[in-house]
Chains A and B, each alone.
Chain A
C-alpha cells in the first residue's frame, strides 16, 4: 500500500511505541553539529517521554497537557502548555493524531518510502518534514528549517504497543532544579 495510507494505519494501529533514538543535527553545509542518543516511549495522544542520554542528559516529557524539558547539567526545568509549543518536532508528530496532522500539513508521497509533510499552519516554524516508514512505523523523522538546519531522528529497537503504565508520563521536577514557565521560545514575536 502507498506510504500515506501506511502512515494513517500507523496512527490508528500503534497506540504506544517504545525504543531508542539517535538525533543528528546538521547545518546548511551538511556538517553534523550535534549527535544525541537515548530512549523514548510514546502513548497516544500527546504523551511521550524522550530521555536524551548523551552527549548531555535531558528529559522531555509530555503529559498530555504540558511539555516538561528537564536539563540535568543546567539544573533547569522549563514547562509550557503543549498547545503553545511551536513545532516541537518528531516526538509530537509521532504521538499526535492523524487528523491533527492533516490539519497542519499537506501529506505527499516522496521518493521511495519517504513521505513529505509541508506545513499549512504557519505556526509550525519548520519548513519540511520527511518521514521514512519501515514495516508500518516511522523509522526516520527529518525536520529541516529555514536556517538550512536539519534534525534527523532515527528510531531503532522498536517495540509496538508495549504495556506502558500511565504514571510513566507524570513528571515531578527534582528539588535541585529551578522550574521555569517557558513563556517566549526564541524567535516567538
Chain B
C-alpha cells in the first residue's frame, strides 16, 4: 500500500474538534503491529493484534518470544481479559479492567477512535489538521495524540505510527498492516 509521507508538524491548521470534519474511517477493521507502553519509569513492548467490529473488539498483546500473552475481548457492556496462564478477569470497561490487572491507566476506549485518526465523539478538544484533512496532533481530555504518517487502505487513509501521551503515560503504536473486514 502506498505510504503518505509524514507531514511536518508546523503548518497544520488548528481547530476545535467540533469544527473539524475528520476523514472517513472504517468501523470494521483489523490491524497488526507493535506497541510500546510507558508509565513513569516502567513499561513494556508487545506485538499487537487488534480486530474491531461495530459491536465487539479483540486485542491480543504478546511479549518477547510470544510469551506473557494477554487477550482483551469487549462486547456491549462487558470486557474480558485473559492471560497466558489461564486467569480470566472481567469488568464493565476495558480501561477499568486493564488498570485492575496491570496497574496501567490506559484510555482503551479512546484508542479505538484515535487509532483510526478520529476524535472521541463525546469529548471536545483541539486538533491540528495537515494536508488532506489528516490530523497531525489531537488533544482530548488532556491526552495528546501525535500522528507520524498515514497509509492508504482501500479508500481510507489510516495511521501508520502514532503516539498517545498524558503526564507520565506514553503509548507508542507502529501499525504494520491494516485490513478492512468485509
* A residues apposed to B, CB below 8 Å: 23, 25, 27, 33-34, 50, 55-56, 58, 60, 67, 69, 71, 73-76, 78, 85-91, 122, 125-127, 143, 145-147, 149, 151, 153, 178, 180-189
Contacts and interface: CB of A to CB of B under 8 A. Distances in A.
Given A33-B32, A145-B85, A69 B102 contact: no
19 contacts: A25-B47, A56-B174, A58-B45, A67-B64, A74-B45, A78-B45, A87-B85, A88-B65, A91-B65, A143-B67, A145-B67, A146-B83, A151-B62, A151-B67, A153-B65, A181-B41, A184-B104, A187-B84, A189-B101
Given A60-B64, A67-B64, A73 B174 contact: yes
A85 B36 CA distance: 17
B174 A186 contact: no
Residue of B45, B86, B102 ringed by the most chain A CB atoms within 10 A: B45
A178 B44 CA distance: 11
Contact of B69 (A90, A91, A149): A149
A90 B67 CA distance: 9
Interface residues of B, number: 39
A146 B84 contact: yes
Contact of B42 (A86, A180, A189): A180
Nearest to B62: A25
Interface of B: 32, 34-36, 38, 41-47, 49, 60-71, 82-87, 101-104, 161, 172, 174, 176
Contacts of A50: 65
A188 B44 CA distance: 12
A186 B68 contact: yes
A55 B47 CA distance: 11
Contact of B85 (A23, A33, A85, A187): A187
A145 B61 CA distance: 13
Contacts of A180: 38, 41-44
Contact of A186 (B34, B42, B102): B102
B146 to A, nearest CB: 13
B43 A78 contact: yes
Contact of A25 (B41, B66, B70): B66
Contacts of B86: 127, 146
A121 to B, nearest CB: 11
Given A56-B174, A125-B85, A184-B103, A76 B69 contact: no
Nearest to A24: B66
A187 B64 contact: no
Contacts of B36: 71, 74-76
B44 A74 contact: no
Contact of B66 (A78, A151, A185): A151
Contact of A187 (B34, B45, B101): B101
Given A56-B174, A149-B84, A186 B65 contact: no
A89 B41 contact: no
